[in-house]
Structures are given as C-alpha cells and as structure tokens.
C-alpha cells in the first residue's frame, strides 16, 4: 500500500499469500491470471489506484471448494472506463456459483466513466443499463452478411463522415452521434440497425420524405437545435419503434396532422420553443402511449386537448408561453379538461390572447355568467381570488397564518430532534413515534435477541448486558451460554439456527472479540453466513462497541449497514431497549423448540458461577445494589422466558473496562449442572 506500483502479474504475488493490500498505488494494469494458483487467497485490496480497464481473466481463480469462502476483492475509487468490455463487472457477484471468481465487496461504490457520455458526469456502476456499456466503431460487417463488398448493403455498419458510432457487447445497442458537425441534410449512410441517432446542432432545414426509412430498430432521435422548419408527411416512415423524439428549439410553424402518423409507440415528444401557430386535429391521434408532451413557448392560439390527446396515458403536458382564445363558447370544454388533467398540466402561466387576463380569470368570468359549478371548482384552485382578501377575512387569514407557522416550527423541531424524542417517548411511555415495532413476521420468532460475543467477555455480557435485558422481560440466546457446539463443523448451522430464531442479532465488538473470535476462520465464516442470510433484516443487527474499530474494510461496511450503539455513551440503555423489539406476553418456549440447544432437550439447567465480578470492569454502587440472582439460560429455562412489560425497570450505570487487567487475568469458571425435576431420570452433576 501507498507505493508507486503500476502493474501486477502472476509472478508479483506469492502463491501462498492470504491477504494482499495494494491500495493507494498507481496500478493501471492487472494482467490475466494474476490470482491463479493462489489457493489460500482470502482478500485483495486494489482500492484507490489508476485502473481504467480490467479483463475478467485478471480476476480468474482456481476452482474454490464449496466449503471454502470465496476471496473478497475491493476495487473502489478507481477511474473505471465502462466500455463494452466491462459489462461483466456489473454482474461478477452473480458468478459466485461457478467458484472461479471472487466477490467484489464494494461494487456499490464503483463509479464509471462512460464512452458516450455527452458531458454527463460519472455514474454508479450498478445504475447503468447494459446498453450504456459502449465501444466506438468505424465499420462492421456481421459474419452472416453476404453483401459487405457492395455499396448498398443494409447489414454492413459504416459510420457516417464526421460522426462517431458506438455499440454494446452484443450489438443490440447501436448509437450514431452526428451532432454539431454542420450537416445540411440527414446523412444517407446511417447504419440500418441504429438504435439512437443524434443529429442535434446541425442546419437541416426541411426534413424530406423517407429520410429515416429502414431504421426499424431506432428508439431515440435527436433533431433539436437544427433549424428544422418543416416536416414532410413521410419523414418518419418506417421508424415504428421510435419512443423518444426531440424537436425542440427549431423553427416549425405548423403541424397539419400527418407528420407523426407512423409513430404509434412514441412515449416522449418535445416540440417546445418553436414558432408553432396551428396544430391539426389529428396531429397526436395515433400516439396511443404518449406520456410526455412539451409544447411551451410557441404561438398556439387554438388547441383542443380534450379531442386531440389521449388523456389516459399522458403524465406531463406543458403549454405555458402560449396565448389562448378565451371566449366563453370554448372555455367550458377547457374547464372540464383542466379539472380532469390538473396533475399533468401547469396551468398557472396560461394567458389569453385578448390581453393580460389569465385562463383562470376567463374561466371565472364565464362561470359567473352561467353559474357553472364546474367552473367554480376550478376557480377555487386559482392562486389569486380577490374576495378572500376582504376586510372581513383579515382576522381569519392572520389566525390561520399564525397556526400554520406554529405547526411548521413544531414539525421542524420534531424532525430535527426526532431521535431524542423517539428515545424519550419509548423510555417514558413505551411507544414508538418514528418507527414501527416488530413486524408480524417476527412475532413467531422464539427469542428477542441472539447475542454473539467473545468468550472472555462472557461474565460482562451475561451479568451486565443480558442480566439487565432479561430482567426487563426480554428472552435472550447467548452464544457461549446457550449454544453448546462441541464440533466446529456444526458451528455455522448452530449460528444460523439461532439467528433465524431471534428477532435481533447483537454483536458485542470488543477488543477480545477482534483478537480472538474474529480472527478464527470458522467463527468468522459462521458469522458472515449469518449476516448474509439476514441481509434483508440488516437493520435488526445491533453492534455494541466497547473499543475502537481499526481500518478493517469488512468491519467498516458492517458499521455502515447495521445499527451501532457504543458502550458508555449517553443514554446507552435507552438506545439499546429502543433498538430491541417490544416486550410482549408470550408462552415459554416448548422444550422441543429450543433452537439454542440445537433442537435437543436438555435435562440440565446451567447457571453462571456465583462469584464477584472481575476487576477488568467495575459496576457503580448503584448497580451493585441490584439483584444478583444468577442469569439462567433462556434456551432451557421456561420461567426465564416468561417476562411481562409490567416488571419495573432497574436503574443502570455504565461499566468502565480495563482491558490490560482483563488480559492479565486468569479466568476461573465453575459450571454446574442441576437436574431439572421434569427430567430427573437423566439428571447428572458436573464440576469443572
């Protein structure tokens, strides 16, 4: 890390390596097969280098066995150039079933520079469509094409002069960009399979008939800013797949009604900022799927949208900047149409041709003369109504304004301090304001929380954390107290079973946990499998921090995805109980359902040794006066899981942790097994 390496290959890394940190170098090239024969490889960090292109063969691995976790790669903060050769990167994590490629852990943070960006900034890799991974080409002829040696060959792709052309990996996207190159007519040799054509910024003038004939795959066409002044009746003949047409900022004056007859599948039409004065009645008739229509900044006087447009599909219509004929004979139809399509139309800026009267004022004037109820409903939506500002309404307006300001301030303060308000309401009254309690799907789970921690923290967890929560009525499954896993090969199944049976997963991240359990591959793999299965419930994972976390990328991602509560912070217990599910009355778990014991019925009841707390953490006198009854396993004790919300909450104080004393301390545990009367036929007593 933090060197000046520019490339790496298969000989750059020893075959026995486990972790490779190459971040913050100048690496531009990763050679193919660099990570082959690295059977022990677990992590590769290529973060913050100069990698623009990388072949999938560069990340190829020897086949990893099913029981072994795939290596984790980090490639974020590189200037990745997403051309047609990089489309595989977006779905590399979907190839894990092949066991020959790593898992890229920070794929959601990778950004891309596009080949055909048209000035747009970099975009997140996962937001790109497959058609945006493009490569430039000058000419191309498919293998099945038999006319490539002739001039008039439809299956031969030749980029027009002064244009740039692009294709994706499968040639399903074919982009021809001829913008701002000075064309005075539409180029004749545009590839027939073009899906997007950019002709904006030219000087095209009149668009003749059949200029786009044969472009049966064309979906997007830009003709804006090209001085277009007229369209023939067969200009768009043959482009039945066209979905988006840009013709804004031109000099069109009239649309007679036949210009767009072939565009039955058009979704978006941009005709704004032209000089259009007349629209034929059948101009938009064939557009059955039109969703966006831009007509603002024209000179339209007579327009009947109630007969010319399909209101069922129209989602956005802009007409401002035009002047309308506001006579009462036609205003009734406009009024009814505005009432039904107010969401699609911005009517605040619609003006009448006779003067400065707005369309709203004209509707009001005509409505008053005929006492139209429909007109009244439209006028009430007008931003200006002179009668409401009369002297009799001033006190009402003032009072309403004051009430609105007070409500706004209270709402704003409540939003700013919503976390503190939520904690206060939950700790005082047991209600949740800004979040829901446990969902119905979690009500059937056996335990409120499954707690993972270090074996060296067992007394701290059981006598401080678990003791407090269990006295409040929570049913807990503690990893070392309740999971009796003798064979390490069953560890993953036990952890997964316990996490599935719990509404929350609590991970106590202490110094001992990081130095012991987190460093053990079997334990770490089991915990990662548990977190992967609970990805949809990631907000239900609680991290209790008792120490600073180092720059481990895996832990940093975990901190961002899960809820974090630091030991010793202000209102620790309130935050912990707020993160836990609500305590409800529920029957004690049946012995056959004790998943913490691997589904087996235990005839013993385990308790912690009744000795004083170790000196590596100390309780304040307030907490030392609390009940010192030993904490029992929630997995085998029926009465320990029978809690109610009526129990009084005990006061708490914070524990100060001295890790130096803890590490020098020799732990002595006493385990007792007391026969349960219900199972006294197999009762035994053990002392260790």
Token pair, residue 74, equals: 């980090």
Residues of the domain holding 524: 445-682
Q: CA distances (Å), 347 to each of 270, 276, 318, 355, 438, in order?
A: 18, 19, 9, 17, 46
Given pLDDT bands bounded at 50, 70 and 90, which one contains residue 435? low
Check which CATH number belongs to the domain holding 96 and give it. Answer: 3.80.10.10
Neighbours of 338 (CB within 10 A): 21
Q: How far is CA 543 from CA 359, 453, 580, in A?
A: 60, 10, 12
680 token code pair: 């006294």
Give the span between the Cα atoms of 613 and 624, in whole angstroms.
Answer: 10
Q: What is the pLDDT of residues 618-670, one digit of tens each?
A: 444 434 333 333 333 433 333 333 333 343 344 444 444 444 444 444 444 43
Q: Compute CA 86 distance to the chain's CA centroid, rounded to the nearest angstrom.
A: 22
Examine the pLDDT at 597 and tell me if it is beyond 50: no
Highest mean pLDDT: which of 142-151, 367-376, 544-553? 544-553
Closest CA to 241 of 259, 268, 262: 262
Question: What contacts 465, CB < 8 A, 6 or more positions away?
Answer: 451, 506, 508, 544
Q: What is the mean pLDDT of the chain?
A: 78
Letter string b/e over residues 51-75, b meaning 16 or more CB atoms within 10 A of that residue's CB: beebeeebbebeebeeeeebbbbbb
Mean pLDDT of 226-231: 95
126 in any annotated domain:
yes
Q: What is the mean pLDDT of residues 380-406?
A: 65
User: Would residue 525 count as lying in a domain?
Assistant: yes
Q: Is the pLDDT of residue 359 over 60?
A: yes
User: In angstroms, rounded to a whole number, what is the distance separating the alpha carbons of residues 167 and 132?
Assistant: 9
Q: Is pLDDT larger for residue 153 or for residue 167?
A: 167
478: domain CATH number is 3.40.50.10140
Q: What is the mean pLDDT of residues 424-430?
A: 68
pLDDT band of residue 313 (cuts 50, 70, 90) is confident
Q: Is the dihedral of CA 224, 228, 230, 235 positive or negative?
A: negative
DSSP string, 192-259: TT-SEEE-TTS---EE-TTTTTT-TT--EEE-TTS---EE-TTTTTT-TT--EEE--SS---EE-S-T
Place of tokens 């399903």: 172
Judge whether 30 lies within some domain: yes
| Within a domain: 419 | no
DSSP 345: B
465 and 478 Cβ atoms separated by less than 8 Å: no
- Report the alpha-carbon distance of residue 572 to residue 433 in Å, rounded: 19
How big is the CA angle at 296 (ends 294 and 298), to the nearest 5 degrees?
Answer: 120
Q: What share of the chain is helix, strand, coil (3-state, %, to 5)?
A: 30, 15, 55
At residue 673, does pLDDT exceed 50? no
- The tokens describing 220, both together, are 């997007």
Say what percent of the chain tops pLDDT 70: 75
Nearest to 453 by CA among 503, 495, 492: 495
**Which burial class, exposed, middle or buried, applies to 412 when counting CB atoms under 10 A from its CB (0-12, 13-18, 19+)?**
exposed
Chain length of the chain = 688
CB burial readout 76-87, b (16+ within 10 A) else e: bbbebebbbebb
Q: Tell me how crowded residue 675 is: count the other CB atoms within 10 A of its CB.
A: 15
Residue where a domain stops, chosen among 132, 163, 180:
132
Q: Domain for residue 171, yes or no?
A: no
Which range, 59-68, 426-435, 523-532, has the best average confidence (pLDDT)? 59-68
Q: Return the percentage of the chain with pLDDT > 90, whole number.
A: 37
| Mutual angle of helices 359-370 and 328-340, in 10-degree steps | 110
**DSSP annotation of 6:** -
Rounded CA separation 305/630 (Å): 79
Could you give the number of structural domains in the chain? Answer: 2
Q: What is the pLDDT of residue 434?
A: 62
pLDDT of res. 639? 35
Average confidence (pLDDT) over 328-339: 76
Collapse the DSSP code of 608 into the 3-class scheme (helix H, G, I; strand E, B; otherwise coil) and give the result: coil
In this structure, of 75-79, 441-445, 481-485, the range with the lowest mean pLDDT score is 441-445
Question: Residue 503 falls within a domain, yes or no?
Answer: yes
pLDDT reported for residue 528: 84
Range scoring the smallest mean pLDDT among 106-120, 150-164, 208-222: 150-164
Return the C-alpha torsion angle 115, 116, 118, 124, nearest 10: -60
* Parallel, antiparallel or unpaired: strands 7-8 and 244-246: unpaired
For residue 156, pLDDT beyond 50: yes
> 66: which 2 tokens?
């099913």
Which of 84, 99, 132 represents a domain boundary (last residue)?
Answer: 132
Band of residue 56 on the pLDDT scale cut at 50, 70, 90: very high
Q: Is residue 269 part of a domain?
A: no
State residue 260's pLDDT score.
Answer: 92
Q: What are phi and psi of 677, to 5 degrees?
A: -55, -30
Would the pTM of this model clear 0.85, i.e. be above it?
no
Q: Comparing 221 with 279, which gets the higher pLDDT?
A: 221
CA neighbor of 577 nearest in space, from 448, 457, 479: 448
**Interatomic CA distance for residues 595 and 599, integer angstroms:** 5
Q: How is residue 449 written in tokens? A: 């929380």
Lowest mean pLDDT among 196-200, 306-310, 336-340, 631-635: 631-635
**With bands split at pLDDT 50, 70 and 90, how would you rate the model's confidence at 257?**
confident
pLDDT value at position 537? 66
Please state, in angstroms and as integers, the Cα–Cα distance from residue 257 to each residue in 251, 280, 287, following that order: 17, 5, 12
User: What b/e string do you get for 524-563 counting C-beta neighbours within 10 Å, with b at 16 or more?
Assistant: ebbbbbbbeebeebeebbbbbbbbeeeeebeeeebeeebb
In the predicted model, is pLDDT for residue 197 greater than 70? yes
Higher pLDDT, 308 or 260: 260
* CA-to-CA dists, residue 49 to 5, 189, 371, 437, angstroms: 9, 42, 73, 45
Is residue 109 within 8 Å of 76, Cβ to Cβ? Answer: yes
Contact 451/475 with Cβ under 8 angstroms? Answer: no
pLDDT for residue 109: 93
Answer whether residue 79 is part of any domain.
yes
Averaged pLDDT for residues 367-380: 53
CA 587 to chain centroid: 38
Sequence-separated (6 or more) residues with CB below 8 Å from residue 313: 288, 289, 290, 291
Tokens coding 34: 């660099």
- Structure-block tokens of residue 32: 């193919």
Distance (Å) of CA 103 to CA 60, 97, 120, 284: 11, 11, 29, 51
The enclosing H or E element of 507 equals: strand 502-509
Last residue of a domain, one of 132, 164, 181: 132
Vertex 487: Cα angle to 484 and 493 (nearest 5):
75
Q: Is the dihedral of CA 639, 487, 670, 662 positive or negative?
A: negative
């Amino acid at each position: 890390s933090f060197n000046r390496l520019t490339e790496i290959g298969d000989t750059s890394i020893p075959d026995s390596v486990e972790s490779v940190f190459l971040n913050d170098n100048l690496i531009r090239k990763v050679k193919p097969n660099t990570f082959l024969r690295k059977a022990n490889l677990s992590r590769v960090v290529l973060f913050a280098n100069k990698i623009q292109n990388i072949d999938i063969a560069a990340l190829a691995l020897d086949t990893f066995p099913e029981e072994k976790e795939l290596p984790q790669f980090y490639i974020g903060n590189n200037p990745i150039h997403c051309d047609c050769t990089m489309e595989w990167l977006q779905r590399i994590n979907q190839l894990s079933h092949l066991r020959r490629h790593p898992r890229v852990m920070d794929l959601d943070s990778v950004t891309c520079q596009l080949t055909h960006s048209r000035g747009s900034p970099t975009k997140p890799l996962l937001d790109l469509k497959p058609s945006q991974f493009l490569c430039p080409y000058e000419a191309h002829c498919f293998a099945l094409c038999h006319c490539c040696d002739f001039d008039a060959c439809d299956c031969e792709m030749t980029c027009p002069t002064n244009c740039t052309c692009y294709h994706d990996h499968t040639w399903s996207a074919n982009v021809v960009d001829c913008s701002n190159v000075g064309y005075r007519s539409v180029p004749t040799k545009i590839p027939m399979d073009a899906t997007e054509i950019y002709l904006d910024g030219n000087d095209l003038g009149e668009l003749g008939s059949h200029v786009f004939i044969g472009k049966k795959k064309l979906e997007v066409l830009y003709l804006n800013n090209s001085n277009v002044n007229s369209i023939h009746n067969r200009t768009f003949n043959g482009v039945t797949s066209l979905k988006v047409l840009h013709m804004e900022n031109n000099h069109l004056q009239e649309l007679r009604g036949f210009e767009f007859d072939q565009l039955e599948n058009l979704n978006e039409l941009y005709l704004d900022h032209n000089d259009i004065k007349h629209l034929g009645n059948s101009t938009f008739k064939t557009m059955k799927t039109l969703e966006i229509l831009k007509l603002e900044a024209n000179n339209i006087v007579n327009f009947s949208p109630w007969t010319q447009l399909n209101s069922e599909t129209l989602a956005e219509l802009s007409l401002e900047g035009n002047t309308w004929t506001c006579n009462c004979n036609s205003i009734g139809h406009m009024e009814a149409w505005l009432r039904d399509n107010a969401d699609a139309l911005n009517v605040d800026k619609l003006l009448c041709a006779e003067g400065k009267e707005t369309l709203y004022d004209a509707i009001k004037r005509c409505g008053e003369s005929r006492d139209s109820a429909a007109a009244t409903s439209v006028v009430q939506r007008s931003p200006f109504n002179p009668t409401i500002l009369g002297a009799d309404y001033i006190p009402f307006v003032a009072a309403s304004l004051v009430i609105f300001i007070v409500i706004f301030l209270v709402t704003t303060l409540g939003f700013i301090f919503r976390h503190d308000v939520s904690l206060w309401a939950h700790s005082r009254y047991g209600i949740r304001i800004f979040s829901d309690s446990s969902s119905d799907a979690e009500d059937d789970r056996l335990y409120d929380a499954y707690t993972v921690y270090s074996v060296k923290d067992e007394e701290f967890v059981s006598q401080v954390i678990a003791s407090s929560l269990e006295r409040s009525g929570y049913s807990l499954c503690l990893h070392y107290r309740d999971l009796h896993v003798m064979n390490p090969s069953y560890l993953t199944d036990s952890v997964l079973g316990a996490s599935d049976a719990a509404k929350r997963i609590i991970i106590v991240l202490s110094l001992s946990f990081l130095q012991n359990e987190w460093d053990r591959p079997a334990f770490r793999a089991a915990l990662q499998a548990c977190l992967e299965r609970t990805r949809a419930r990631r907000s239900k994972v609680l991290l209790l921090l008792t120490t600073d976390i180092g720059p481990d990328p895996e832990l940093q991602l975990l901190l961002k995805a899960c809820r974090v509560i630091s030991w010793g912070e202000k209102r620790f217990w309130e935050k912990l109980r707020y993160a836990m599910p609500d305590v409800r009355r529920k029957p004690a778990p049946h012995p056959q359902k004790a998943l913490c014991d691997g589904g087996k019925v235990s005839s013993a009841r385990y308790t912690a040794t009744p000795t004083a707390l170790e000196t590596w953490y100390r309780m304040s006198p307030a907490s030392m006066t609390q009940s010192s009854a030993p904490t029992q396993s929630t997995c085998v004790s029926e009465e320990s899981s029978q809690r109610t919300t009526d129990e009084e909450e005990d006061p708490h104080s914070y524990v100060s942790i001295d890790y130096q004393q803890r590490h020098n301390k020799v732990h002595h545990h006493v385990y007792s097994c007391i026969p349960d009367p219900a199972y006294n036929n197999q009762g035994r007593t053990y002392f260790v």
